[in-house]
Every structure is written in structure tokens, then in C-alpha cells.
């Protein structure tokens, strides 16, 4: 499925994906595309101090970097730095999980990029992952 | 598909300076030239070649020889090819000067020697480029007139074909660009084909007498030559369709997917109750109104039911010289912002925000705004017309105004809140300011009003200009200028349009099913 979807995605998005694989997670893959958003699985999504890996689907716009990331989907509910559950924007079993529900997507975190400098280049994908990791740590 | 050539005002000035001005190499030579990258920009019915990066010639790379004429050396071609090959989608253009005429803008005619030499050199160059990249040649006069022609060569697949005349320079298919567009911040359209005039436009002197007094028959012909796209036919776009037709604009392209209904009738100037009753498509109603109002003798209007945020709708606008953004949607605005730079088609955006008091419902604040973007202008995003986050939210779902965390029963209330107030008088003001801006850009009248953001502050009744005239330091739009098809414009799925298509599809299927059932019942009845 991944290859089929990827070939149809716009070049800047594919450039971002290449950059993500080179610099962050060689196994990053597109598991679904729904509407204007792609669900990109990143295994090495560091939780706490990067020793554990939470893993999750970044909900990235197909128009990336000209549109902002919106939301994260995970298999398990996330736990923050203090080991309490990450409550910020958490929606278990939300509709947004549907595109990856068949492969375990069950928890939706409705995180938006509001008030942050927007991504501008495909390479900004690395900053996006770091932003997701910060949100996980913040809980 | 017709061919055009486009470049920015800055590039045009640079080309003239390189060929005739201070920066001209070998100034005693009767002709000079250079090689440059060129990008295709493809609309539905128009293909434009856009001038790209010039490959700087060395002192002896281009010279005049009494025996051979203007020579561009193999070394220079080879260097230019290696530059162009590395640029995604770029082809090669050979540009050279003619010493005259020094006045007038009639496109210079290539000599038989020009045609032969260009075909020979470009045949060799196009074989070195990846398939599908354009190869072209241009001639420029000291007055700034240009003629541009694209060369198409059959690409040999076998050694036998490689030796065949059909696949060589003599097999070249030459197509002249019909028009040259020089964009930003103003817009000039010059003829590009030496063998053909621009449309021999008549002017209806009686109908247009009052405006001809202001800009003359020449100005009127410029308007008659223009093709203007209107993206969105709400309160502003609909009024503007009629205004532009009455002004004498030659061609309009209308893009919208909505239908007329009771809820938008109060701001649908020119539409009738019968249009609402039949739920007529806005593009069809305004095409009819524009046709009835047109003053240009050979006026054409092309209505398309599509979304400008999707590839199909955008493609129609890529056939235009100027695009008006009246869609009131951050997604569409972002798409047009990209198009303005990548395809050198200026965009003029306009809209109104009116804010009533929550209790009294009386107006407490509001502003109308008109903004131009494209080469020579700051972009819509930097002028504060939309943010990337707003363009993202608009991609989420139809009418999505808030992201999440709404109680399930909030939907109806939310819809009410999302329904922005709109008044035809403010729409008329915006449409008029857009019309005036088009005149400034296309005719060069009131040059100080070409660039920037013009705002009408409703509560003060004041019309003022915002300070922003250039893009922010981190803005990348100017780096996309003239990249044409090589720049990916972030089109996508307009979810509201998809929803309407689905609903109309369902209703159609239901009607078909209903008809089928009736027929079946009749048949059964007859058998009984």
C-alpha cells in the first residue's frame, strides 16, 4: 500500500518523506491517505528522553510543507514525562483514527500548529517530529 | 493549445540591459545574445514558456562573425546545458538581439539564417535534455519588442532514425508564441508572432465613449485583449463579472461550484427569482449576465463548475492574464498565491469581514480589503490575507471553523456562528476597488495604486493603505517566480465541493430510482 500511495503524492511531500527516512527513521512509511492528509508511521517517536519509543502516525497534510501538521494517532494512550497520561487533546477511538484503525490506530491527539512558525521546506519535517516529541513530553 | 511567453518586468529590464545597455558584452557587434533556462506553464488551453535563470556568457562565448552571423560557442552551449539539466523541468532558450527597430512593439521577424542556425543548435541541445523539456529561441529589439518560437523535434529511438532528416533540424516543428506577457507589478501584453497581429480588436466607440475619454482607444484595446479569471462568484465575484464585461474586458473565465439559493439571493446582483427557483449554477447565471452586459465586440465568457482549490479548477485559471480571488476561503487563496508567482499571473484578492455585536446585532467592526499579489508585489500571505494554519484548517472538512473539542450537540449553533454576515453594499465596494486595481495594473493609470493592501474600515468609514509592500524575510514565494509546472501548487480536495457532488449524485440516483420504480409499477399494472 505504501508504495502505491507514495507515488501519487506531490513531490515536496515525497522530499519530506525522504528527509524523514534519512535523518530520523528509515522505516517511516505512509500507511493511509484520507482527504487532504496522509498518515505517516514513525516508529522512532521518542517518548520522554528518547530512550523509549512511543511510535505513532503523524497526520501530515499532503500539501506539506505548504500546510501544517494536524494531529497524531497512536496505538496506545500516550504517557508523558511524569508517567501520567497525556491528556492534552486526547480522544480515544475518534473518527480521525479510522484510516489506520485496521492496523491499530486507536488514540487521536488533536494537536494543531497554531501560533508556531509554519514549516516552509520539506526539510522542516525534522522540526515537526521534534515538535510532536515535545508535545508528548509535555503531557 | 496556443503558445505564449512570459517574463517579469525585472527580467525584461535585465534582458534589455544585457543586450543593449550598460551590461552588453562586445558592444560594437551588431547582435548579441545569451542562453537561459525556460519553464513550461500549462493551463487547459494555453501553454506558456517562462524565462528562467540566464546562464552568464563569458567574453568570447557569444560573438559576431561577418561570415557566420551571431555565434554561440559549443563551450557555452555545453555549460548552459549542464546548468539547465540540473534544474527540474527546465528547458533551454536562445535569446539574441536585433539592432532595430528602435521604436514600436511589433515582434521582430527571424531571418532564414536565424531559423536555420537555431534549429541546428536547438536540435542538438534538445537531444541532450531529458524528454519533454522545451527548446526555444527569442529575438529582442532595443524598443523591448520580442518574438519567441518553440522548436519541437522528433526524438530518435534507433540509429537509423537518428540519421533521418525527419528527426534532425530540418524536421523541426516551429510554433510562435502569440503573445508576450510582462508581469509585475503592472502587466503588459505584447504581440509575439511577427506574422500575426494580436486580435484585430474593434472598439465600440459609442458604448465606451466615457471611458475612452480617460484611456483612449489604445487602452480600450488593451482591455479587449485581456483574459480575466474570477475564482468564486459570491457577492464580490458576481458583481465583478458584470463590471468587467461592461468595462470592455475581452474574455472572462468564471470558476465556481455553487448554486443560487434563497440564502445568497440578497447579494447576487443581476440574478432573478427564477434563477433561485431553478437553483441555477452561479457560473451559468453570471456568464449570461456578463454576455448581456459586454461592451467588447468579440466578448467571450467561459463558465466552469469547479473548485479553484482543485487541479481542474486551477487549470482553467492558468489560461488567464489576471485572476481575481473572490472565493473567501484560505485554501483557495493559498492556491492562487502560489499560482501568482509560479505562473506569472497576478492575483487580486478581495473580501469583507463584518462583525456584529452579540446582543444588539448591530455592526461593531469590520473591514473590506483588496490586495494584489504576484511578481513585483508582496504575497497574499505576507499581506495578511490568510495564514498557513487557516489554509490547513480549510483542508480539514467542509465548513470546519474550529478544530475539535466541541460538544456533539454544538453543530447547529456552530454552523450559525460560522455563517459570516454579508452585505451587498460592502461587496459592491470590494468589487469596485478590485476593478480599479485591474485598471491600474493593466493600463498603468494611477501607478501608486498598483501595489499593496487597500482597506476600508467600516466603523470609521475610512479608506487607507497598509504599510506592507514587500514579503517577510522567511517568505519563499519569490524563489518560485516563473517556475511554472516545476513548482507544485498545493491543490487538493475541496471537501465542500466533494460533499456537494456526493449529495447531488445521491439525489440524481434517487430520482433515477424513483423513475425506475414508477415505470416498473406501470408495467406491473398493465400486466394485471
Residues of B with CB under 8 A from a CB of A: 334, 338, 387-389, 391-393, 395-397, 403-405, 474, 476, 488, 490, 492-493, 495
Q: Which of B391, B403, B493 sits opposite A67 (nearest CB)?
A: B391
β-bridge partners, B454 = B370, B465
Question: Residue A53's pLDDT is what?
Answer: 67
CA distance B17 to B305: 45
Q: Do A120 and B474 touch (CB under 8 A)?
A: yes
Share of chain A above pLDDT 90, in %: 61
Question: Residue B429's pLDDT is what?
Answer: 96
The three grid cell numbers given for residue B474, joined into one nine-digit string: 522567511
Residue of B nearest to A109 (CA): B404
Cβ atoms B295, B247 nearer than 8 A: yes
Q: Which of A10, A67, A120 sits opposite B395 (nearest CB)?
A: A67
Query: Which 3 state secondary structure label does DSSP give A103?
Result: coil
Least Cα separation, residue B469 to chain A (angstroms): 21
Query: Which 3 state secondary structure label does DSSP give B45?
Result: coil
How many contacts, defined by CB atoms under 8 Å, are there between A and B?
A: 60
Which of these, B109, B356, B324, B333, lies nearest to B236 by C-alpha position? B324
CA distance A39 to A30: 6
Question: Residue B407's pLDDT is what?
Answer: 47
Q: Do A91 and B338 touch (CB under 8 A)?
A: no
* Mean pLDDT for back-to-back runs of 10 residues, chain B (528 residues): 97 96 82 96 98 93 91 96 96 94 90 92 94 96 96 92 90 95 96 79 77 88 96 96 97 97 89 95 98 95 98 97 94 97 98 82 85 96 94 81 44 56 90 97 92 93 90 91 97 94 87 82 75
Rounded to 5°, angle at Cα A81 from A77 and A86: 30
Which of these, B150, B135, B181, lies nearest to B12 by C-alpha position? B181
Extract the runs of DSSP E, i.e. beta strands, from A26-111. Answer: 29-34, 37-42, 46-47, 52-53, 56-61, 72-74, 90-92, 107-109
CA distance B246 to B248: 5
Assess whether the previous peptide bond of B195 is cis (omega < 30° from 0): no
Residue of B nearest to A108 (CA): B404
The three grid cell numbers given for residue B105, joined into one nine-digit string: 512593439
User: Nearest 5°: phi and psi at B276?
Assistant: -70, -45
Distance in angstroms between the alpha carbons of the first and the last residue of chain B: 60
Residue of A nearest to B392 (CA): A67
Burial pattern B288-310, b for ≥16 Cβ within 10 A else e, equals bbbeebbbbeebebbbbbbbbbb
Query: Which 3 state secondary structure label does DSSP give A128?
Result: helix
Cβ atoms B427, B267 nearer than 8 A: yes
Cβ atoms B105, B144 nearer than 8 A: yes
Least Cα separation, residue A104 to chain B (angstroms): 22
Question: Residue B209's pLDDT is what?
Answer: 81
Least Cα separation, residue A51 to chain B (angstroms): 32
* Neighboring chain B residues of A61 at a CB cutoff of 8 Å: 392, 395, 492
On whether any CB of chain B is under 8 Å from the CB of A117, the answer is: yes
* Neighboring chain A residues of B389 at a CB cutoff of 8 Å: 68, 112-114, 118
The three grid cell numbers given for residue B280, joined into one nine-digit string: 441555477
Least Cα separation, residue A134 to chain B (angstroms): 20
Residue A50: pLDDT over 60: no
Least Cα separation, residue A70 to chain B (angstroms): 8
* Neighboring chain A residues of B493 at a CB cutoff of 8 Å: 35-36
- Half-sphere exposure for B73 (CA within 13 Å, toward CB): 10
Which of these, B371, B314, B379, lies nearest to B348 by C-alpha position? B371
CA distance B33 to B137: 10
**Between A79 and B47, residue with greater pLDDT:** B47
Cβ atoms B64, B84 nearer than 8 A: no
Question: Residue B302's pLDDT is what?
Answer: 98
Query: Which 3 state secondary structure label does DSSP give B242?
Result: helix
The three grid cell numbers given for residue B179, joined into one nine-digit string: 503573445
* Neighboring chain A residues of B476 at a CB cutoff of 8 Å: 120-121
| Residue to substitute from B402, B404, B406, interface A, most A β-carbons within 10 A | B404
Cβ atoms A112, B389 nearer than 8 A: yes
Taking CB atoms within 8 Å and a gap of at least 24, the contacts of B60-63 are B62/B25, B62/B26, B62/B32, B62/B33, B62/B34, B63/B26, B63/B29
Question: Residue B405's pLDDT is what?
Answer: 41
| DSSP annotation of B348 | E
Question: Residue B85's pLDDT is what?
Answer: 95
For the segment B196-218, what is each residue's pLDDT rounded down to a tens digit?
A: 776 666 777 777 888 888 888 88
CA distance B70 to B293: 52
Question: Residue B517's pLDDT is what?
Answer: 81
Residue A51: pLDDT over 50: no
Q: What is the DSSP code string of B367-425?
A: EEEEEEESTTS--TTTTTS--HHHHHHTTTSTT--S-S---GGGHHHHHHHHS----HH
What are the extents of the domains in chain A?
A: 3-138
Distance in angstroms between the alpha carbons of the first and the last residue of chain A: 33
Q: Which of A11, A66, A89 sits opposite B334 (nearest CB)?
A: A66
The three grid cell numbers given for residue A36, joined into one nine-digit string: 487532504
| DSSP annotation of A79 | B
Q: Do A66 and B338 touch (CB under 8 A)?
A: yes
Q: What is the DSSP code string of A34-50?
A: ETTEEEEEES--EETTT
Least Cα separation, residue A114 to chain B (angstroms): 6
- Alpha-carbon Rg of chain B, whole angstroms? 26
For the segment A96-125, what is each residue's pLDDT rounded down to a tens digit?
A: 999 999 999 999 999 888 777 889 999 999
- How do the residues of chain A divide into helix, strand and coil, expressed in percent and rounded to 5? 30, 25, 45
Question: Residue B318's pLDDT is what?
Answer: 98
Does the predicted interface ipTM exceed a cut of 0.90? yes
Question: Residue A80's pLDDT is what?
Answer: 67
Q: Do B495 and A36 touch (CB under 8 A)?
A: yes
Q: Which of A61, A117, A121 sits opposite B395 (nearest CB)?
A: A61
Cβ atoms B76, B62 nearer than 8 A: yes
| Residue to substitute from B314, B330, B336, B388, interface A, most A β-carbons within 10 A | B388
CA distance A58 to A41: 6
Question: Residue B198's pLDDT is what?
Answer: 64
Q: How confident is the model at residue A61 (pLDDT cuts 50, 70, 90)?
A: very high
Amino acid at each position: 500500500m505504501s508504495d502505491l500511495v507514495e507515488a501519487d503524492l506531490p513531490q515536496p511531500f515525497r522530499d519530506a518523506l525522504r528527509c524523514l527516512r534519512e535523518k530520523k527513521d528509515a522505516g517511516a512509511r505512509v500507511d493511509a491517505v484520507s482527504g487532504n492528509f496522509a498518515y505517516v508511521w514513525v516508529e522512532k517517536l521518542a517518548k520522554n528522553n528518547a530512550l523509549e519509543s512511543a511510535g505513532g502516525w503523524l497526520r501530515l497534510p499532503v500539501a506539506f510543507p505548504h500546510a501544517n501538521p494536524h494531529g497524531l494517532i497512536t496505538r496506545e494512550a500516550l504517557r508523558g514525562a511524569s508517567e501520567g497520561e497525556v491528556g492534552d487533546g486526547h480522544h480515544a477511538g475518534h473518527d480521525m483514527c479510522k484510516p489506520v484503525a485496521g492496523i491499530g490506530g486507536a488514540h487521536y491527539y488533536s494537536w494543531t500548529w497554531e501560533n508556531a512558525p509554519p514549516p516552509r521546506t520539506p526539510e522542516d519535517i525534522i522540526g515537526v517530529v521534534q515538535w510532536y516529541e515535545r508535545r508528548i513530553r509535555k503531557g | 493549445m496556443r503558445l505564449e511567453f512570459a517574463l517579469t518586468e525585472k527580467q525584461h529590464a535585465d534582458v534589455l540591459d544585457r543586450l543593449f545597455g550598460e551590461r552588453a558584452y562586445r558592444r560594437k557587434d551588431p547582435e548579441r545574445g545569451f542562453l537561459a533556462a525556460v519553464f513550461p506553464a500549462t493551463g487547459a488551453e494555453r501553454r506558456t514558456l517562462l524565462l528562467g535563470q540566464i546562464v552568464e556568457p563569458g567574453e568570447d562565448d557569444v560573438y559576431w562573425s561577418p561570415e557566420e552571423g551571431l555565434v554561440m560557442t559549443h563551450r557555452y552551449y555545453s555549460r548552459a546545458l549542464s546548468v539547465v539539466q540540473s534544474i527540474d523541468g527546465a528547458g533551454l532558450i536562445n535569446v539574441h538581439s536585433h539592432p532595430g527597430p528602435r521604436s514600436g512593439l511589433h515582434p521582430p521577424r527571424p531571418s532564414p539564417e536565424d531559423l536555420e542556425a537555431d534549429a541546428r543548435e536547438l536540435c542538438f541541445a534538445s537531444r541532450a535534455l531529458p524528454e519533454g523539456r522545451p527548446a526555444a529561441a527569442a529575438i529582442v529589439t532595443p524598443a523591448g519588442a520580442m518574438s519567441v518560437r518553440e522548436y519541437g523535434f522528433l526524438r530518435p529511438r534507433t540509429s537509423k532514425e537518428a540519421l533521418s532528416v525527419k528527426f534532425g533540424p530540418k524536421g523541426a516543428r516551429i510554433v510562435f508564441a502569440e503573445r508576450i506577457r510582462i508581469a509585475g507589478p503592472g502587466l503588459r501584453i505584447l504581440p509575439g508572432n511577427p506574422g500575426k497581429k494580436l486580435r484585430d480588436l474593434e472598439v465600440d466607440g459609442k458604448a465606451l465613449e466615457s471611458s475612452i475619454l480617460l484611456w483612449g482607444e489604445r487602452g480600450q484595446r488593451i482591455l479587449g485583449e485581456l483574459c480575466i479569471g474570477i475564482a468564486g462568484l459570491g457577492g464580490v465575484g458576481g458583481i465583478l463579472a458584470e463590471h468587467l464585461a461592461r468595462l470592455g474586458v475581452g474574455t472572462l473565465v468564471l470558476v465556481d461550484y455553487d448554486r443560487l439559493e434563497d440564502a445568497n439571493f440578497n447579494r447576487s446582483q443581476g440574478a432573478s427569482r427564477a434563477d433561485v427557483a431553478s437553483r441555477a449554477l452561479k457560473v451559468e447565471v453570471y456568464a449570461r449576465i456578463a454576455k448581456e452586459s459586454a461592451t467588447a465586440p468579440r466578448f467571450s465568457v467561459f463558465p466552469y463548475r469547479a473548485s479553484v482549490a482543485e487541479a481542474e479548477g486551477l487549470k482553467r485559471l492558468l489560461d488567464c492574464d489576471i485572476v481575481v480571488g473572490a472565493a473567501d476561503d484560505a485554501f483557495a487563496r493559498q492556491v492562487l498565491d502560489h499560482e501568482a508567482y509560479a505562473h506569472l499571473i497576478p492575483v487580486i484578492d478581495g473580501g469583507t469581514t463584518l462583525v456584529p455585536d452579540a446582543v444588539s446585532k448591530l455592526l461593531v467592526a469590520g473591514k473590506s480589503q483588496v490586495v494584489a499579489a504576484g511578481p513585483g508585489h508582496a504575497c497574499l500571505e505576507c499581506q495578511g490575507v490568510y495564514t498557513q494554519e487557516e489554509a490547513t484548517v480549510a483542508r480539514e472538512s467542509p465548513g470546519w471553523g474550529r478544530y475539535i473539542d466541541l460538544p456533539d450537540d454544538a453543530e447547529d449553533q456552530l454552523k450559525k456562528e460560522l455563517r459570516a454576515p454579508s452585505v451587498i453594499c460592502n461587496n459592491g465596494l470590494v468589487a469596485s476597488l478590485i476593478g480599479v486595481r485591474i485598471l491600474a495594473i493593466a493600463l498603468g493609470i494611477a501607478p501608486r495604486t498598483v501595489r499593496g493592501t487597500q482597506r476600508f474600515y467600516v466603523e470609521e468609514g475610512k479608506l487607507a493603505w497598509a504599510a506592507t509592500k514587500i514579503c517577510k524575510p522567511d517568505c519563499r514565494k519569490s524563489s518560485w517566480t516563473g517556475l511554472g509546472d516545476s513548482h507544485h501548487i498545493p491543490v487538493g480536495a475541496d471537501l465542500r465541493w466533494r460533499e456537494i457532488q456526493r449529495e447531488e449524485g445521491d439525489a440524481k440516483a434517487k430520482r433515477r430510482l424513483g423513475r425506475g420504480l414508477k415505470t416498473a409499477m406501470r408495467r406491473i399494472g398493465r400486466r394485471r
